[in-house]
């Protein structure tokens, strides 16, 4: 099923024409209505009329999270505040959060892109969607909600938490679609198991997951435990929220809703735009957003783009799953380490639970990385030498993946914090 | 001849061993014998309790990782050289020992050693052949 055949399967030439027209429009609107853009474009010596081809986007300056933060709260709005019908903020762990404002038209666009994505997961008006994403300033809950309602499915707006109740409702309401963060999904599966609920007691058809880092192995676990396919949702509050890109049944990359969000990949050191299939930082431009146009936003998410007609029939460009963030990248003794690499290494061990924590310390001016892993009945042995061997084996797997010696600590089951939202995988005690 | 032993994974942290023992105490299990192997970051608590299968279930329900295995209980003379005699039998038969722990049975006024040879069946055979007194599991559980 395809929600919007005309756009999702549009010939590339046609799409480029549409994108250029929209790019010219958004650049003009941004320049004329948002002082930030006028100042930045003037500094760069760029006028909206200079955008004659899609490649001309490269002449425009980048926008960073810091730029948005400086405009706090409403400095990036392109319309009078009364036309904004909804605001969200990104989590402000460091300093002020960034605010995202939406007009009525923007909410329609958001609903449209999420409806396209949920349709990829097989959602129709017959479905019951249990949305465990938080409803609030976080965009996750509302984005899924708008898309599902646009399709006409039944939404259970339960938000995160109350895990036992989630399972009860899943069973009693006959939930067919579950929306989770991967770590919360795994936690739900664990609690379901404790409660003696089997996947056959549930009516699940598919799972949509997003909002945090994941690996293919994590997806497999989620799929196995719930016995249904799981699809990735990508988005970020600064641009819109979930719905920027979503996975089709091929489970081989996410289709970017590029008629609304124009993607580029850059080398984050040289700022050079990279070609398709080259890995780098994703940069996004909102082509249609009214309330708060965002030009060339540096997402700090690392991915690559792939053009071509997908076996599912869509022609929208695909991005591969996010394999890291330029900012949760840990530098350990000068080596870049991504939590996803460590997870990948851990999942090579049979019987390991996907709950882990990475602790970076600097005891004597030298970085140390400790990886805490929960012991499971399959890992545990009565013999000290065997347990030490298992620990060494995990350390070797991690070494093979990241090229660094780490210290693996086996901890007791269910002692690592479980997330009810984004999992805290990394504790950096180095105070960098 | 073989006695069921429970091995429990413990983090080498304050209060962890007590937690495990409290679980057993609350369920009314009286520990017959116990030893602990420890490294800098984890330990293995080894226990002999009556009804080991029930004890294991309760521990697992409380999120402990437990493994059941077997050890051999051998009586030794409670005097200098008693343990050495038993070890000599294994040594002569070229049987490696993973670990052992010993205690005194006050009721019978005897010393008992619990042995975990690499090859438990070979250990039983060698000890039997040399006339060592093995203690059946019922006796161990009913001390």
Chain A closest-CA separation from residue B93 CA (Å): 22
The answer to whether the CB of B70 falls within 8 A of the CB of B2 is yes
CA separation (Å) from B99 to A230, B36, B122, B125?
48, 10, 15, 18
CA A88, CA A69: separation in Å to the nearest integer?
Answer: 13
Q: Which fold has domain B2-68?
A: VC0802-like (3.30.2130)
Chain A closest-CA separation from residue B133 CA (Å): 26
Give the domains, in start order, of chain A with CATH numbers. 330-428 (3.30.300.30)
The answer to whether the CB of A144 falls within 8 A of the CB of A114 is yes
Q: Which among A266, A206, A259, A258 has a CA at the least distance from the CA of A232?
A: A206
Contact A380 B67 (CB under 8 A): yes
Q: Do the domains B70-141 and B2-68 match in fold? A: yes
**A159 Cβ contact list (under 8 Å, min separation 6):** A131, A132, A133, A134, A135, A136, A141
CA separation (Å) from A425 to A27, A40, A417, B33, B89?
39, 37, 9, 40, 52
> Using CB atoms, which residue from A377, A388, A409 is nearest to B65?
A377
- Please report which confidence band the pLDDT of residue A419 belongs to, taking 50, 70 and 90 as the band edges: low
CA separation (Å) from A234 to A4, A237, A268, A317, A319?
19, 10, 20, 14, 10
State both tokens at A346: 């851990």
Cis peptide before A213 (omega within 30 of 0): no
CA A165, CA A158: separation in Å to the nearest integer?
Answer: 9
**pLDDT confidence of residue A93:** 40
User: Is B98 an interface residue toward A (CB < 8 Å)?
Assistant: yes
**A58 Cβ contact list (under 8 Å, min separation 6):** A264, A273
Sort residue A186 into left (φ over 0), alpha (ψ -120 to 50) or beta.
alpha
Closest-CA residue of A relative to B37 is A384
State both tokens at A271: 């700022």
User: Is A196 an interface residue toward B (CB < 8 Å)?
Assistant: no
Where do the domains of chain B lie? 2-68, 70-141
Which residues does chain B have with pLDDT short of 50?
none
CA A261, CA A234: separation in Å to the nearest integer?
Answer: 12
- Please report which confidence band the pLDDT of residue A415 belongs to, taking 50, 70 and 90 as the band edges: confident
User: Is A366 an interface residue toward B (CB < 8 Å)?
Assistant: no
How do residues A1-32 score in pLDDT, each as one tens digit? 999 999 999 999 999 999 999 999 999 999 99
How do residues A166-186 score in pLDDT, each as one tens digit? 999 999 999 999 999 887 898
ipTM of the complex: 0.80
Q: Which among A298, A302, A388 has a CA at the least distance from the CA of A341?
A: A302
Q: Based on the number of CB atoms within 10 Å of its own CB, is A69 exposed (0-12), middle (13-18) or buried (19 or more)?
A: middle
> Using CB atoms, which residue from B5, B44, B63 is nearest to A412?
B63
User: Is B67 an interface residue toward A (CB < 8 Å)?
Assistant: yes
Contact B98 A383 (CB under 8 A): yes
Q: Which residues does chain B have within 8 Å of residue A376's beta carbon, measured at their own beta carbons?
A: 65
Q: Which fold has domain B70-141?
A: VC0802-like (3.30.2130)
Contact B44 A384 (CB under 8 A): yes
């Amino acid at each position: 099923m395809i929600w919007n055949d005309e756009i999702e399967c549009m010939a590339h030439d046609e799409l480029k024409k549409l994108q250029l027209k929209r790019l010219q429009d958004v650049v003009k609107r941004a320049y004329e209505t948002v002082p930030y853009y006028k100042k930045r474009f003037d500094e760069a010596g760029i006028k909206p009329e200079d955008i004659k081809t899609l490649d001309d986007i490269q002449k425009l300056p980048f926008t960073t999270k810091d730029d948005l933060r400086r405009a706090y709260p409403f400095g990036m709005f392109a319309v009078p505040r009364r036309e904004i019908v909804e605001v969200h903020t990104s989590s402000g762990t460091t300093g002020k959060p960034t605010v995202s404002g939406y007009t009525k038209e923007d909410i329609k666009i958001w609903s449209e892109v999420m409806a396209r994505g949920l349709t990829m997961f097989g959602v129709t008006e017959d479905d019951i969607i249990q949305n465990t994403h938080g409803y609030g300033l976080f965009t996750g809950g509302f984005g899924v909600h708008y898309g599902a309602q646009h399709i006409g499915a039944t939404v259970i707006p339960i938000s995160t938490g109350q895990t036992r109740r989630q399972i009860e409702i899943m069973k009693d309401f006959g939930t067919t679609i579950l929306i989770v963060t991967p770590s919360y999904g795994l936690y739900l599966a664990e609690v379901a198991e404790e409660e003696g609920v089997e996947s056959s007691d549930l009516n699940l058809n598919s799972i949509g997951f997003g909002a945090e880092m994941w690996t293919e192995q994590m997806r497999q676990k989620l799929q196995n435990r719930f016995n249904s396919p799981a699809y990735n949702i990508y988005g970020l509050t600064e641009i819109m929220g979930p719905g920027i890109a979503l996975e089709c049944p091929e489970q081989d990359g996410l289709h970017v809703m590029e008629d609304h969000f124009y993607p580029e990949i850059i080398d984050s050191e040289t700022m050079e735009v990279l070609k398709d299939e080259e890995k780098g930082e994703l940069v996004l431009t909102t082509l249609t957003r009214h309330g708060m146009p965002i030009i060339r936003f540096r997402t700090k998410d690392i991915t690559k783009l792939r053009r071509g007609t997908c076996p599912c029939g869509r022609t929208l460009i695909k991005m591969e799953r996010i394999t890291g963030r330029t900012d949760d990248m840990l530098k350990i003794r000068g080596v870049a380490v991504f939590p996803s690499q460590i997870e990948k290494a851990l999942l090579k061990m049979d019987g390991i639970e996907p709950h882990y924590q990475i602790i970076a310390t600097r005891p004597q001016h030298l970085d140390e990385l400790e990886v805490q892993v929960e012991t499971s009945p399959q890992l545990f042995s009565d013999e000290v030498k065997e347990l030490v061997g298992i620990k060494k084996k995990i350390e070797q797997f991690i070494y093979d993946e990241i090229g660094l010696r780490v210290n693996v600590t086996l901890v007791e089951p269910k002692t690592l914090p479980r997330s009810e939202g984004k999992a805290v995988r990394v504790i950096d005690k180095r105070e960098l | 001849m073989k006695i069921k032993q429970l091995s429990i994974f413990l983090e080498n942290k304050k209060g962890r061993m007590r937690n495990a023992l409290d679980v057993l105490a609350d369920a009314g299990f009286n520990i017959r014998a116990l030893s602990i192997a420890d490294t800098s970051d984890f330990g293995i608590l080894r226990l002999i309790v009556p009804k080991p299968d029930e004890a294991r279930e309760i521990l697992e329900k409380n999120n402990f990782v437990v493994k059941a295995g077997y050890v051999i209980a051998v009586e030794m003379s409670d005097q200098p050289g008693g343990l050495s005699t038993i070890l000599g039998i294994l040594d002569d038969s070229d049987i490696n020992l993973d670990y052992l722990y010993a205690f005194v049975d006050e009721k019978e006024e005897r010393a008992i050693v619990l042995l975990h040879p690499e090859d438990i069946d070979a250990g039983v055979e060698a000890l039997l052949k040399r006339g060592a007194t093995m203690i059946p599991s019922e006796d161990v559980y009913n001390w």
